[in-house]
Each structure stands twice: as C-alpha cells, then as structure tokens.
C-alpha cells in the first residue's frame, strides 16, 4: 500500500531569491507544506539569464514572497537548492527547506489579545470534553492549567484516520493542536509553555512530539503563521508510560498539571529537553542493541548534567555508582541487580551484540523501566499510575 501525503498548506505568488554575490532573482513561487511537515519551494525565475542560474552558489540563500492577492508576505531566512531544471519550458528551481517559514497577514501589536495555535505531531490521546462538529459531538479536547495558563489539546477533525495511518505506517503526521490565549507581547513565554508541554507529552507517550505549524489569531482572524519543517521521528506503537486513552485520560491530565513546574525547575540543570529526546529515540529504533546503547547514553547524559549541577568534581567511579547516586538523590527505589547493566553495555560496544546467555529483551525492558522511574522521580510523579514495562501493567513509584 502506498503512503499518501496530503497537502496541509499551499501558498502561491511572486517572490525573490537573495544569494550572496548574485543579483536578486525574481519570479513566481509555490510553497507546499505536507501533513508530515515536509516542505518544498518551487520557483520559476523571470527575466534572468541561463548563466545566472548556473552560477547560483551552494550556500544558503534567502527567500521573500508575496501572495498574488497581496494578503500575506512570506519570509524564509535560509533556503538550499535541491534541484535546478533548465531545459525545455520554464526553468524551475526546487529548494529544500530546513528553517522556519514566517507568513504575515497583518502586523500585531504588543497588547493585542491573541490565540496561539500550534499543530503537534505524533501525539495520540482521547479527549475529556466533547465538541460539536457538524451533526456530531466528538470527545476531542483535553483542557489543562499549566503555569497559570489554560491550555487546550484538541484533536484534528480527521484524528481517527490519522491514528489508523500512524499505527499502520509508523511515520509522521500532525495529530492535534495546542491552543492557548494571551497577549502578543507574551508570545515567547507562550511558545516556551508549548515547548515544555511537548517534552512532557513525549516522555508520557514514548513518541517524539513537536510543533509542525503555528497560527496566531486575533478575534478569530488569522494574522500570522509560522511553519516548522524541522526534525521529526517516526511513530511507535509502544505502550505509553502515562495512559492517554479514555480510561486513563484523567491520569494524563494530572501528570501534566502535576509535573509541569518541576519540569521547568529542572529542565536546564538536568538538560531534560535533550535527555528526554534521547530516551524517546531509544524506544523508536531497532535493533535491541541500539535501543540498549541509546538508553544507557540517556543515563550517562543525565548523570553528567547532574554532576555539573551539584558541582561534583571529576572522579573515576563506575557507572553503577553514578547511577545509584542520581537514583538516591531523587528517591527512586531500585535493586542492586537493576544496576548491573554496565557490563552489557560494554559488551555491546565492543562486540556489537548482547553477551552470551543474556536474555536481551528482559535486559532492555529492565533498563528502560529503571530510566522511566528515574524521570518520574525527577518530575516528582509519585504514588500515581504509570505503565511498568517489566510487569506489563500499571504500577506506581
């Protein structure tokens, strides 16, 4: 079966390319943003010479554009040529886009009250509140209060089809939107609130959750859009650490509201955005040897941040002792046998495989459960349910 990518956004108009040491090249453009975040810019030059096109540098250029009806302007700070078609018909340039794209319909003032809406990737959840869509009421919304702001997570209209697609093809799709209201002068803090929420959702779901686009509304009128064709990771059907299904959505709501401030407090001292991403990545890529190494790397990163934070000088102690030190700091119960993973890690590094007579699935699940519990301890998520991957049922820290 073929994977069909749908166009989520499309923009057309007149534009200009700005490259170092090359005269400005004007022409028509079409910018296409797919539902997996992949973005392409097609540009047809006008009034330029064959030589100018051949002399375009491989360095990054800059793109500015305006809609045919002048309703919006587009700015891309960096574009890279992927392909140039120069032959019969119109010459055509195609660009790879790896940097944010800003689309402005109308300038905003600092005191304007806005609603920021960000589309998030690969996050599946069941809603608590129902919304009327046509003739149907659909339970599609989860409302939380994070750092004094009401945040709504709302499924996209075709959420069920997206969910089925992700579970079959395990790629990337925009699944829901995060919505929050504030003043335009607060936009940086609103974006930071969303970014923090994304990492907490990533840890809870076992999938890398990131923003794909951002729309800014004033009185329900779209005034600004930002597109983010940045890095994503494929979807995994792994059992989530925190239940996001209908039977557990209250647990997930309590998890977000109960851990948010602790995450903010420790995200810089412990490098939580990076260590959570490492840990989520370790759950996405087989074989088990790679998963095991990435999980131990997560621990080593946490321990390194921890030592810097606590101003523990360089010392030659075993990874086992370092791990026990950070587990004790955050009062995470553990057994001595759970710390016997260093030998397995070293064997994989040198031999490319698990040691003989090692039950690799049990070893990986035991290590993963240990790191699950460490993150929950760091976030002070105690006495509440999480999925214990070793016991294959809900447990509590």
Model confidence pLDDT, tens digit, residues 144-168: 999 999 999 999 999 999 999 999 9
Model confidence pLDDT, tens digit, residues 331-353: 999 999 999 999 999 999 999 99
Residue 1 has pLDDT above 60, yes or no: no
SS3 content of the chain, % helix, strand, coil (to 5): 35, 30, 35
Cα 9 → chain centroid: 19
Q: Residue 160's CB: how many other CB atoms inside 10 A?
A: 11
Share of the chain above pLDDT 70, in %: 95
Cβ burial of 50 (10 Å; 0-12, 13-18, 19+) is exposed
Instruction: Kindly give the residue spans of alpha helices, DSSP state H, lying in 267-310.
Output: 272-282, 288-309
Torsions phi, psi for 30 (to 5 deg): -140, 120
Model confidence pLDDT, tens digit, residues 268-324: 999 999 999 999 999 998 899 999 999 999 999 999 999 999 998 777 888 899 999
Threshold 0.85, pTM exceeds: yes
Per-residue exposure over 332-361, b if at least 16 CB sit within 10 Å of its own CB, e if not: bebeeebbebbebbebbeeeeebeeeeebe
Q: Domain ranges for the chain, please list them.
A: 7-99, 113-255, 269-396
Residues 6 or more apart whose CB falls under 8 angstroms from that of 384 comprise 251, 254, 255, 258, 396, 397
pLDDT tier at 386, thresholds 50, 70, 90: very high
Give the residue carrying structure tokens 């002070």: 380
Q: So what's the pLDDT on residue 47?
A: 76
Residue 48 has pLDDT above 70, yes or no: no
Q: Which helix (H) or strand (E) holds 236?
A: none
Model confidence pLDDT, tens digit, residues 52-90: 666 677 778 999 999 999 999 999 999 988 887 776 667
Residue 113 has pLDDT above 70, yes or no: yes
Residue 379 has pLDDT above 60, yes or no: yes
- CA dihedral (253, 255, 260, 263) positive or negative: negative
Residue 3 has pLDDT above 70, yes or no: no
Q: For residue 72, what is the DSSP state? A: -
Share of the chain above pLDDT 90, in %: 81
Average pLDDT, the chain: 92
Residue 49 has pLDDT above 70, yes or no: no
List, as one string, the DSSP characters of 202-233.
HHHHTS---EEEEEEEETTEEEEEEE------
Q: So what's the pLDDT on residue 2?
A: 43
Cα–Cα distance between 204 and 284 in angstroms, integer? 14
Cα–Cα distance between 178 and 224 in angstroms, integer? 16
Q: So what's the pLDDT on residue 37?
A: 87
Model confidence pLDDT, tens digit, residues 168-219: 999 999 999 999 999 999 999 999 999 999 999 999 999 999 999 999 999 9
Torsion of CA 243, 247, 252, 257, to 10 degrees: -160
Q: For residue 362, what is the DSSP state? A: H
Cα–Cα distance between 250 and 199 in angstroms, integer? 19
């Amino acid at each position: 079966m073929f994977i069909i990518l749908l166009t989520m956004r499309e923009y057309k108009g007149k534009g200009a390319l700005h490259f170092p040491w090359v005269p400005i090249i004007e022409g028509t453009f079409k910018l296409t943003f797919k539902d997996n975040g992949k973005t392409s810019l097609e540009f047809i030059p006008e009034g330029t010479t064959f030589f100018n096109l051949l002399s375009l540098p491989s360095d990054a250029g800059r793109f500015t554009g305006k809609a045919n009806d002048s309703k919006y302007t587009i700015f891309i700070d960096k574009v890279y040529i992927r392909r140039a078609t120069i032959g019969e018909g119109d010459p055509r340039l195609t660009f790879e886009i790896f940097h944010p794209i800003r689309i402005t319909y109308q300038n905003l003032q600092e005191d304007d009250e806005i609603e920021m809406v960000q589309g998030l990737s690969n996050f599946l959840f069941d809603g608590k509140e129902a919304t009327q869509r046509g003739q149907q009421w659909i339970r599609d919304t989860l409302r939380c209060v994070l750092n004094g702001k009401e945040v709504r997570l709302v499924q996209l209209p075709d959420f069920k089809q997206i969910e089925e697609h992700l579970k079959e093809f395990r790629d990337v799709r925009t699944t829901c939107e995060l919505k929050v209201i504030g003043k335009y002068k607060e936009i940086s803090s609103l974006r930071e609130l969303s970014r923090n929420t994304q990492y907490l959702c990533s840890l809870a779901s076992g999938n890398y959750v990131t923003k794909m686009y951002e729309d800014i509304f004033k009185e329900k009128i779209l005034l600004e859009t930002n597109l983010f064709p940045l890095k994503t990771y494929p979807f995994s059907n792994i059992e989530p650490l925190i239940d996001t299904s209908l039977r557990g959505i209250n647990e997930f709501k309590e998890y977000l509201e109960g851990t948010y401030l602790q995450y903010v407090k420790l995200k810089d001292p412990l490098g939580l955005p990076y260590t959570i991403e490492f840990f989520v990545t370790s759950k996405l890529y087989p074989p088990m040897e790679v998963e095991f190494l990435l999980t131990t790397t997560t621990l080593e990163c946490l321990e390194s941040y921890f030592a810097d934070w606590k101003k523990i000088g360089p010392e030659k102690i075993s990874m086992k002792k370092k791990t026990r030190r950070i587990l004790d700091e955050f009062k995470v119960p553990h057994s001595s046998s759970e710390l016997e993973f260093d030998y397995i890690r070293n064997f994989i590094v040198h031999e490319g495989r698990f040691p003989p007579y090692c039950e690799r699935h049990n070893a990986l699940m035991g290590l993963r459960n240990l790191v699950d519990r460490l993150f929950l301890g760091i976030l002070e998520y105690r006495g509440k349910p999480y999925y214990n991957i070793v016991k294959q049922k809900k447990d509590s820290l």
